[in-house]
Amino acid sequence: MKKTLLLCLGIFLIPIISYAQEQDAWVFFTDKENVDASISNPISILTQRAIDRKTNDGIAIDERDVPVNEVYITQIKQQTGITVFAKSKWFNALHVRGTESDITALESLPFVNNIDFADKSLNTSSRAQAIQDKFQIEDTSVVFNYGNTQNQVEMINADDLHLADYTGEGVFVAVMDSGFSNVDTMDGFQRLRSNGDLLGGYDFVDKTSDVYAFNGNDHGTKVLSDMAGFVQDEFVGTAPDASYYLFRTEDIFSENPLEESYWVEAAERADSLGVDLINTSLGYRVFDNPAYDYTPEQMDGETAFITRGASIAAEKGIVVVISAGNAGATAWLTVGAPADAANVLSIGAVDADEVYASFSSQGSIAQPTQKPDIVARGRDTYVIADNDAIVQNNGTSFSAPIMTGGIASLMQALPDATPMQIKQFVIESGSQFSNPDNLLGHGIPDLQLALDIGLSVLEQELQDFELYPNPVESNLTVRFPFGIEAAELRLFDVLGKQVLSLPITNSTNRINTSAFASGIYLLQIKSATISKTIKLIKS
């Protein structure tokens, strides 16, 4: 549990006093160094797997992939009263702590663009909500009944994928949580270790590579088990053969926006390692310092720092799966951050009979898209605790990894599908796709149906040209349909003037558009049997 009633009054005085003295804030920089050189030599900033994944999915490598200027970081650390806790290359920012005056003084540095205080009253207006233990529901054990994971796996038809030998092999998953105690020694993860699929990770809270130490509870261990756990004839996760990076970003002993920054750091690390999927069974809405609190109206997909980070992760070609939250039976009601992000998959909870679980957070008019997106079993879910016991717990923290593992198996089955296609196939397979609501979203996915939808879509694409990215900045790639080896490409400006004409082949299918002015063009590509014309945007 995050806090207990055993704390005495004297202990509480410390954070109360510190709130008056110290603030958390994000400091955003004006620029980065060596941007063009880094982008032109991406292996200097990304792993080869990350580069390959982005290339295959048509994801541009851009300035956000370039690290924060270390000289700027050093100078910030040297300023009076400032402590640096986290950094983000995607936002080109640091998470700092200090007094309001010391943080405000950073604005005088020429490379500081702006400062965003976690206490929004120092920027705009204040707001406050009561603090609640985020793991309160999930730490409440249900009466144990010995059994296996049959219901929670079959509910989403992940078992059909397993029967076809799609168990997540070759798919890389990053898990962000509160720690993963004993995963390196437990029998429940022996298969994972024996297959070389436990890839390590990092503890961003304590700044150590040891993510297996006990850090207050075994939440992360339980979450991982629903994807990667395996006990012969007793327990099977939904992706037992996927590969996993584990990142601790949550400090259960406090609730501070710094944890949002740790999460973004971990997502950036995951992206640079080339992961395909992110699972997060965490959510943020209220903090120890009420001045930092969000309101339900701010769960709008663009306010919270972690939500904006999750959106960038999705833009970078990662399928991001987030638990919707456990506020469905509280005054808060709605999903928390980052589950409110439009382009992530937010997962609600149902019980074994596929009935809405009353604790599962709901969608609202604040979200720009339907939330939750989909649901899976989250009541009386089977998990493996860090003592190797198979137990049952409640929470969307467990419906999310069940779904993540299922998606990992689907991605193995559809290696040519883009991340956004995978997300759409899963949503379209939902039990109430045509009639979504704020309780179940698009319903319970059928992953066999998602596979069938995907195969149909991809088969159609094999009969047509595909061009990406669009909008394009520099290099445009043309994916040829099956059986076509050569074509003629022509580009016309808005006045109908032809500005480019060249032959291309299946092996010379990348066109440099850097010399063209920004704007809208018509691109025509024609082979002996197929012709396609599209609107191309040059950014």
Predicted local distance difference test score (pLDDT) of residue 528: 83
Predicted local distance difference test score (pLDDT) of residue 102: 94
What is the per-residue pLDDT across 499-527, written as a single tens digit (0 to 9) for each? Answer: 999 999 877 888 888 889 988 899 999 88
Structural domain boundaries of the chain? 9-32+67-122, 150-460, 466-538
What is the per-residue pLDDT across 35-94, written as a single tens digit (0 to 9) for each? Answer: 999 999 999 999 999 998 888 887 889 999 999 999 999 999 999 999 999 999 999 999
For residue 462, count other CB atoms closer than 10 A to its CB: 15
What is the per-residue pLDDT across 418-448, written as a single tens digit (0 to 9) for each? Answer: 999 999 999 999 999 999 999 999 999 999 9
What is the per-residue pLDDT across 145-154, written as a single tens digit (0 to 9) for each? Answer: 335 788 999 9
DSSP line for 12-79: HHHHHHHHHH-EEEEEEES--SSHHHHHHSGGGTS-HHHHHHHHHHTPPP-GGGSPPPHHHHHHHHTS
CATH entry 3.40.50.300 includes domain 466-538: no
Considering only residues 125 and 303, tell me which one the structure prediction assigns the higher pLDDT: 303
Confidence band of 361 (pLDDT split at 50, 70, 90): very high
For residue 152, count other CB atoms closer than 10 A to its CB: 26
The CATH number of the domain covering residues in 150-460: 3.40.50.200
Contact 293, 128 (CB under 8 A): yes
Residues marked as catalytic? 177, 219, 397
Nearest CA-CA partner of 57 in 274, 265, 243, 255:
274
Predicted TM-score of the model (pTM): 0.80
Distance CA 92, CA 344 (A): 22
- When the candidates are 3.10.20.740, 2.60.40.10, 3.40.190.10, 3.30.70.250, the CATH number that belongs to 9-32+67-122 is 3.30.70.250
Which residues on adjacent β-strands are paired with residue 441? 437
Confidence band of 240 (pLDDT split at 50, 70, 90): very high
Residue 27 has pLDDT above 60, yes or no: yes
What is the per-residue pLDDT across 5-23, written as a single tens digit (0 to 9) for each? Answer: 222 323 233 343 344 489 9
- For residue 240, the SS3 value is coil
